[in-house]
Each structure stands twice: as structure tokens, then as C-alpha cells.
Amino acid sequence: MSALNPYVNLFYDWAEIKVKDLPHLKQKNFFEQFVDDKEGYLVTITPSQFVKCWIHYSRDGFIEGKMLDRFFVDYCECVNFQEREQFQRGGDLYRHVRKGFMEMYDTNEDGQLDIVETVKTMPFHSHFFDFFRKPKVYPTSVEFMKCWKFTDKNNDGFIDECELNDYISSLILTNENSEIDEQEVDEIVRVLMFMFDVNRDRKLHLSEIRSMVKIAEQGDPWVCRAEKITSRCAKELFKYYDRDKNHIIDDFELDALLCDVLAENRKNYHYFDIIELKDNISRKIFTFNKTQIQLNKKEFAKVVVMLKEAFDSLV
């Protein structure tokens, strides 16, 4: 059996389920345990039940190969219960439906499903599944950075479980204006930690939170490549990141630029990387006040010139 995600034991201790009790190698349809007895098919599953399914079918962070075939057949048998006999592997109907299934959900077209792509295959409506089907959309990285700083209430550079709980609760209230089920929110938070806490420190970093949301309009990826940033980019960057059009780049707007640069050049990054970039810039530009940022076009141009060198100096 493949090595399990190191967070699995922690998750199952919370769920009061033993990892050894999961029938990973049995051929029985794993989804059947969640089928509604009255309806005869899957009506819904909880976030923790989804995680159990993910652990059962995934290997090394993906559902792929034979386990992807097994997942698809089991899924079709239980979601579309009456047609289970038609979904024998290798049949024409199987190949046709599987092709359409992967075209719809394998968004990066790598022939396998990661955990977020797998969540989106679940045809159920709940706050958890709708979080991925209709993710929170921020107009630009500026609004995202404002939300980050508001959510990080203790200013430690991370989003912990309590802060994530408040964030999820606020999203539910904003979307539905309904009462909060605290147990449901707690379960959603634990599962989101399982899904996005890459280094398993029980806190979410800037890159992990950013991967949970959608930013409608981001800085030009070509311009945000570290090796492409030059003084000639300054005018274009100023125009884009001056979101309030007051002819000044403030702290949130500069953080948005630095976050976009990090996102374009690194897979994993922390808010501390933004702080370090500002430190590196301030060492070269003595007039750069990193504690109270109000940059005009000329000052911003100096920062842009130093940005590549500052990025290269990151640890």
C-alpha cells in the first residue's frame, strides 16, 4: 500500500476512524457505504466522507492509472445507480463517458485528478462543495491582499484554524445570509487544512490561501516574470496596481505586485517573502519607507528597478 498523506492520521484521529480500517485494496465499491438506502444512490456526502474517498483512491497526491479507472466506475455506479451494468471497463459507453468526464474535470489535462479537481466531480450542493464550485472571486490581487491582512488578525504571517474558521463563516454569511452551523464550519475548516496545508504545520501560508480562491484579473504574467522586470515596465505596472487611481502606490498595492511576482515565479511562498522583498529594496533605496508606503511614479520606478535584484536575494 502506498504511503499515506502524513496528515491522514491526524485527520482520522479527529474523525474517530482508524486508517487500518479502510479497505484500500478491496474491490468492493467504496462509494456504496455512502449510498442512501431509500433512494438507492448517492444523495450527498460530507466533507469528511469525501476525504475518506480521496484517501482510498489516491496515490502520491493524485488519482491516476488503475485507481482512476476504479474511481470512475465506482462513481458512475453510485451516482447513476440504474446504469451500473453498462459501465463495465472497456465498453464503448464507458470510454465515451470517461472521456467527457476527464475533459470536464481534468483542468490541467495531465491525465489524472488532484484533490481539488476531484472535489469538483462531486455533484452535491453544500457549503463545502460550493466553496470549490463557486470560489470566492477577488477583482485583483489588491483586494486579495486586503482580505489576507484582515483575516490574519494576529499578524503572524499565517492563517490558523481559528482565523480560517472566521473566514469561512463570513463567506457563508455573505453568500446566503443564513445562520452558521458551527459544527459544519469546523468540519469544513479541518478538511480545507487537510487539502491545502502542504507542509502540515496546521497553518496556511500565503500561497496556500491564494490557491483556494480566484483572482479575476492578475498582473500581466509576462511582466511579472522576475527576469523580465525592468525600468521600462514601471509605467505599465504603476497604471495597473494603482487601483484607486490616486497616483500613489500604497502598502496594499505594492503587496499585490510582490504577491503576483512571487506567484508567477514560485510554487510555494509566504507573506514573509513579501516582507523580505521590502527589506531587500529598502537596503538599496534609503528613501523607501517600508512601514508607511506612499510611492509616487518616480519612487515606484526606483522600486521596480530594484525588484529583480531583491527577488534574486530571497532566501
CB-side exposure of 126: number of CA atoms within 13 Å?
A: 19
Check residues 206 and 135 and name the one with the higher pLDDT.
Answer: 206
Which cell is 41 given? 444512490
Instruction: Tell which CATH architecture fits domain 226-313.
Output: Orthogonal Bundle (1.10)
Beta strands in the chain (DSSP E): 137-138, 159-160, 203-204, 214-215, 249-250, 294-295
Residue 225, pLDDT above cutoff 50: yes
CA pair distance 262, 141, nearest whole angstrom: 12
Q: What is the pLDDT of residues 76-107, one digit of tens each?
A: 888 754 455 555 555 666 777 788 889 999 99
Residue 305, pLDDT above cutoff 90: no
What is residue 149's predicted lDDT score, i.e. its pLDDT?
94
To the nearest 5 percent, what fractions of the chain are helix, strand and coil? Answer: 60, 5, 35
Amino acid, single-letter form, for residue 27 = Q
pLDDT (average), residues 119-146? 89
Range name among 115-124, 160-169, 281-290 with the lowest pLDDT average: 281-290
Check residues 78 and 27 and name the one with the higher pLDDT.
Answer: 78
Confidence of residue 151 (pLDDT cuts 50, 70, 90): very high
Q: Which long-range contacts (CB under 8 A, 24 or more apart) does 244-250 make?
A: 247/296, 247/297, 248/294, 248/295, 248/296, 249/293, 249/294, 249/295, 249/300, 250/293, 250/294, 250/295
**DSSP of 148-203, one letter per residue?**
HHHH-TT-SSSEEHHHHHHHHHHHHHHHH-----HHHHHHHHHHHHHHH-TT-SSE
State the alpha helices, DSSP H only, in 58-114: 65-79, 92-105
Q: What is the pLDDT of residues 47-68, one digit of tens each?
A: 999 999 999 999 988 999 989 9
CB-side exposure of 79: number of CA atoms within 13 Å?
A: 13
Residue 297, pLDDT above cutoff 60: yes
Pick the CATH number of 154-213 from 3.30.1360.170, 3.90.1200.10, 3.50.50.60, 1.10.238.10: 1.10.238.10
What is residue 181's predicted lDDT score, i.e. its pLDDT?
84
pLDDT (average), residues 180-202? 89
DSSP single-letter state for residue 81: G
pLDDT (average), residues 136-161? 93
Total-model pTM: 0.79
Length of the chain: 315
Return residue ranges of the chain for CATH 1.10.238.10: 154-213
Contact 180, 169 (CB under 8 A): yes
Name which CATH class applies to 7-125.
mainly alpha
Residue 294, pLDDT above cutoff 80: yes
Exposure b/e, 27-36, CB count within 10 A at least 16 = b:
eeebbeebbe
What is residue 12's predicted lDDT score, i.e. its pLDDT?
38
Contact 297, 247 (CB under 8 A): yes
Residue 246, pLDDT above cutoff 70: yes
Helix (H, G, I), strand (E, B) or coil at 30: helix
Helix (H) or strand (E) holding 308: helix 297-312
Exposure b/e, 149-164, CB count within 10 A at least 16 = b:
eeebeeeebbbbbebb
What is residue 39's predicted lDDT score, i.e. its pLDDT?
80
